[in-house]
Structure 1
Amino acid sequence: MDFTGLIAYPVTPFSADGSISHDALSGLVEGLATSGVDAITVLGSSGSFAYLDRAERSAVARTAIEAVGGRLPVAVGISSVGTREVLDAAVDAQAAGASGLVLSPVSYVPLTDDEVKTQVRAVCAATDLPVCLYNNPGTTQFDYSLQVVAELSVLPEVVAFKDTAADAATFNARHAALSALVPGVLSHGVSGDLLMMTGEIAADAWHSGPAALLPVHYARLRSAVVAGDQHEVDRVRHVLAPLVDHVAGLRKISGLHLLARACGVAAGDPRPPLLPSPGSELRELGRLLDVLESEFGDD
């Protein structure tokens, strides 16, 4: 797995009693397998990895991989507060048949460069799966420097970097600088749906939670951006960006569960302590979805 193209990060659906709804998860990822996305990653932030125990995470990975049935690569998020738990997750993901791993430097105490490099090397020693490093400083309080990424990219297992930035210009500048630092091939993908909605970042990959619920529209926008078709970029952005912007204004994870409900996906409410987004937001999400479908429903 090379972590290129459009990579969808589905929510983990929950039943009313808070247990994982494996039937709903199977249906969601099976639909993604024929939706136009290039790969799927379960147990990312969108997938509530932080609120699941080891057995639940392993079961989610197995359910998703079995449902996709080899039609697309399925990566598994292995982030955790402790390195021991990270390594357990990596071993479990490989046993489940994962195509790759996604790792962010999660910790109660923000990590140092040396601590992050030590953890990544430990993961690469424990598995031969391709690894995507994830820069999520807003959550982890660790911001990957490009020099650290370049140093870790010499590890054969490290094939990708999921990155973010304050704006499109900053991301594109980081992309150019990283390309000059890395001697080999490394997919430098963008995380942050508002960055994607600018239409100014092609990157090697788009990593997105909402794309798992709106895959056809995200695929349409990415294709237009990569092709340099500004007319199509503007056309899609005009109706997709307001919806994505509204979801971004909701609470993380909870907002995606509400969007799933608006899309007719039985994802349930997020697991406590997270509370669901207000049901009053559902009407606006429905309206924005109607606008989107009215523009592209006949295409």
Structure 2
Amino acid sequence: MTAVSAFPITPASPDGTVDLVALRRLVATLVTAKVDSIGLLGSTGSYPYLARTERQRALDVALDEAGGAVPVLVGVGALRTDEAVRLAQDARAAGAAAGLLAPVSYTPLTDDEVFEHFATVARESGLPLCIYDNPGTTHFTFSPELIGRLSQLDGIVAVKCPAPAPESVAGHVRNLRGIVRDAFSLGYSGDWNAVEALLAGGEVWYSVVAGLFPATAMTLVDAVRQGDADEARRLNTRLAPLWTLFKSFSSLRVMYAAADLMGLCRAEPPRPILPLSIEAKRQVAETLRELDLI
């Protein structure tokens, strides 16, 4: 089944204290839209910038607001394996459905190091894990062979891959499906290429845009579910101006600006990331108005 996992920002003060009222408001919007899952504390949720205690506070509020109606998967990535274990244990104890684990690193990691990292977190936490392949932030790229090895481990249940270019995505899906175990979920991020990944057989869209505009994402995915590829591609093409902003300024900065423009929260990205300039924010506002998103 094709599904949408919506990734909201995590509003916080300059000292890294999560704004629980604003976060609850964001999560409530996703629950109302009936997204298939909520991806809390992903890259859009600024997980590396938050202390363990703040991650716990954010997760508790998200789970409370979701009320069991929508599964919550939560980022548990950390530089150290033991810290990632503790974060995953926290998530399991709180009631998260799964953990999203990225191989966060300073020293470049080898495949064997990443394999052991994942195996340890899965074994010692008991939390189902989704492999988070995000080379743009971790500077580590999962080979298909490594994903295949990890998929054989108990507790490694899914992967979130950056969606390849449209001409390559069908081969990517086919290759992975041939080496992972049955029932292992193949999901994709990179909003601008996600439609082609879903049409090619990807099962989950791990979506930035759904974190603020869930109805828009759900409409697009509904077209895929109904087998209407032309409509899905039309809707995706319509969003091209937003995808251009994501590529130009980063989706993180654009989503913070959008949340501010929508009056959902007044938070800024965690430093040293700076908010968009006045001119860039004007471009975001114009684009969102043109797309009838605000």
Shared fold per TM-score greater than 0.5:
yes
Give 1:4-153 correspondences, 5 Å limit. 5-15=3-13, 19-153=17-151
Q: Secondary structure at the match of 2:32?
A: coil
Contact 1:168/1:201 (<8 A) preserved: no
Question: Cα offset for 1:49?
Answer: 0.7
Contact 1:251/1:277 (<8 A) preserved: no
Aligned to 1:288: 287
Aligned to 1:259: 258
Question: Cα offset for 1:17?
Answer: 6.3
Residue type of the alignment partner of 2:222: S
Cα distance in structure 2, aligned partners of 1:190 and 1:118: 24
State the Cα deviation string for residues 229-274 of structure 1 (Å, max 9, x = none).
1442244224322123213311452222112222332151012111
Which is further off, 147-156 or 231-240?
Answer: 231-240
Cα distance in structure 2, aligned partners of 1:192 and 1:274: 20
Contact 1:42/1:77 (<8 A) preserved: yes
State the Cα deviation string for residues 86-141 of structure 1 (Å, max 9, x = none).
11111111122111100011100111111111011111112222210011112212
**Identity over aligned pairs, percent:** 36
Residue type of the alignment partner of 1:286: A
Contact 2:42/2:74 (<8 A) preserved: yes
State the Cα deviation string for residues 50-105 of structure 1 (Å, max 9, x = none).
11111111111111111111110001100111111111111111122111100011
RMSD: 2.1
1:166/1:248 Cα in 2 relative to 1: closer, same or farther (>3 Å)?
Answer: same
Give the unaligned 5+ runs of structure 2. Answer: none
Cα distance in structure 2, aligned partners of 1:220 and 1:205: 14
Q: Secondary structure at the match of 2:268?
A: coil
Q: Secondary structure at the match of 1:94?
A: helix
TM-score (ref. length: structure 2) = 0.92
Which is further off, 278-287 or 265-274?
Answer: 278-287
Cα distance in structure 2, aligned partners of 1:130 and 1:283: 41
Give the unaligned 5+ runs of structure 1. Answer: none
State the Cα deviation string for residues 140-186 of structure 1 (Å, max 9, x = none).
12111111111111122111011124412323211101111123211
Cα distance in structure 1, aligned partners of 2:56 and 2:17: 14
1:90/1:17 Cα in 2 relative to 1: closer, same or farther (>3 Å)?
Answer: closer
Aligned length: 293
Q: Which of 177, 188, 191 does residue 190 from structure 1 map onto?
A: 188
Q: Secondary structure at the match of 2:278?
A: coil
Contact 2:14/2:271 (<8 A) preserved: no
Question: Cα offset for 1:48?
Answer: 0.7
1:159/1:17 Cα in 2 relative to 1: closer, same or farther (>3 Å)?
Answer: closer
Residue type of the alignment partner of 1:203: G
Cα distance in structure 1, aligned partners of 2:144 and 2:33: 33
1:217/1:250 Cα in 2 relative to 1: closer, same or farther (>3 Å)?
Answer: same
Cα distance in structure 1, aligned partners of 2:124 and 2:67: 25
